[in-house]
Structure 1
């Protein structure tokens, strides 16, 4: 098996609310949009973010674990500068993001902040000046 991820799927409680956040608020363009079922957005050259209605998700995959607090994963959006971290966090706040944690310098040399989407999934917005961080930035 090749070491790659093709889809990241998040089970969401209210697909229309999620659409308003990602499409209307953040300005992302869906490639697949099946009302009441799934919204798929290209998130990279070979990566799709799939936002799946929770009921449809559970019917195919199985019941999700019940947890309180933050879902046990983060998604990351890397940018080239700390100023871009702050700009993306401001854009997320304008789009209606909950629980925005402002950007700050980290002990490992980067600068990051977080926002939560309508279902509480945390997005890290990061400037990682190390080789691995720079390797994920788009060219240009």
Structure 2
């Protein structure tokens, strides 16, 4: 099996609300829109799939629900600290909860915002070699 991820699928409460946030708010471009699903290319070979919760459960199985933050984040790396602040401000302008960015002990600068379903996105400036490998040319 190749070492790669092709799709990241999030079960969402309201696909239309997710579209307003990701497409109308963040300005991302859909690859595919169909009943109950919105797919957005987020990398050369990676698609973010936003899928209606009920349809997700029908195919995949019952979703576990608990209090607190989901035990994962999605990360969007940028080239400068100023870009981190700019993306977090954009999220706030869209009515989303966003933490202030902070300098991290490993040398980076990061903050988080929540999408309409509470999924946490890390916005990160990572000056190290790994951080540079994930930035577009």
User: For this structure pair, what is the TM-score category when the shorter chain's length is used for normalisation?
Assistant: over 0.9
How far the C-alpha of 1:126 sits from its partner, in A, is 0.1
TM-score (norm 2): 0.97
User: Structure 1: 5+ residue runs without aligned partners?
Assistant: none
Distance in 2 of aligned mates of 1:93 and 1:26: 11
Q: Which runs of 5+ in 2 are unaligned?
A: none
Pairing of 1:1-140 with structure 2 (within 5 A): 1-35=1-35, 37-97=36-96, 99-139=97-137
Q: Pairwise CA RMSD of aligned residues?
A: 0.8
Contact 1:74 1:124 in 2 (8 A): yes
> Which string of whole-angstrom CA distances, capped at 9 and with x for unpartnered residues, describes residues 50-71 of structure 1?
0000000000000111111111
TM-score scaled to structure 1, two decimals? 0.95
Moved over 4 A (4+): none
Is the Cα–Cα contact under 8 Å of residues 32 and 41 in structure 1 kept in the other structure? yes
